[in-house]
């Protein structure tokens, strides 16, 4: 977390930064949340791409990333959630159900 605090502090002066790759850095939820809060406050305002792949971010950290995206429409965050296989299966099932429902709605609209 100390590294995340240092990085958050460095973002204050990252005026021209457009891409930040933090992949495979053992960043946990607390680090992701700290960085998301820093970016939510307007730091690194030109940042367009934030890479978090290969870290230890769970649904809790993902929620904070989602909140950040709602504030920073120009920002793309690339992240893999560290979720249990069971939770991943639930998410996949919900996505498939949503896709099927959308396809049915399209068919209904076309008839």
Q: Are 27 and 56 in contact (CB under 8 A)?
A: yes
pLDDT computed for residue 8 by the predictor: 87
Per-residue pLDDT of 18-64, as tens digits, reads: 999 999 999 999 999 999 999 999 999 999 999 989 898 888 888 89
How far, in Å, CA of 102 to CA of 57, rounded?
30
pLDDT computed for residue 44 by the predictor: 95
pLDDT computed for residue 111 by the predictor: 65
Per-residue pLDDT of 70-105, as tens digits, reads: 899 999 998 876 555 445 545 555 555 555 665 676
Q: Is 40 exposed, middle or buried (0-12, 13-18, 19+ CB in 10 A)?
A: middle
pLDDT computed for residue 80 by the predictor: 76
How far, in Å, CA of 43 to CA of 67, rounded?
15
Instruction: Please name the fold of domain 2-80.
Output: 3.80.10
Q: Which residue would you say has higher pLDDT here, 70 or 3?
A: 70
Label residue 24 left, alpha or beta by phi (over 0 means left) and psi (-120 to 50 means alpha).
Answer: left
- The two tokens of residue 66 are 């989602």
């Amino acid at each position: 977390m100390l590294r995340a605090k240092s990085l958050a502090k460095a973002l204050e002066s990252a005026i021209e930064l457009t891409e930040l790759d933090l992949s495979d850095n053992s960043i946990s939820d607390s680090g992701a949340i700290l960085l998301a809060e820093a970016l939510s406050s307007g730091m690194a305002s030109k940042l367009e791409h934030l890479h978090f792949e290969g870290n230890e971010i769970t649904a809790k950290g993902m929620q904070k990333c989602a909140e950040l995206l709602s504030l920073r429409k120009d920002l793309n965050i690339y992240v893999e959630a560290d979720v249990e296989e069971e939770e991943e299966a639930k998410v996949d099932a919900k996505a498939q159900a949503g896709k099927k429902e959308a396809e049915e709605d399209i068919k209904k609209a076309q008839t």
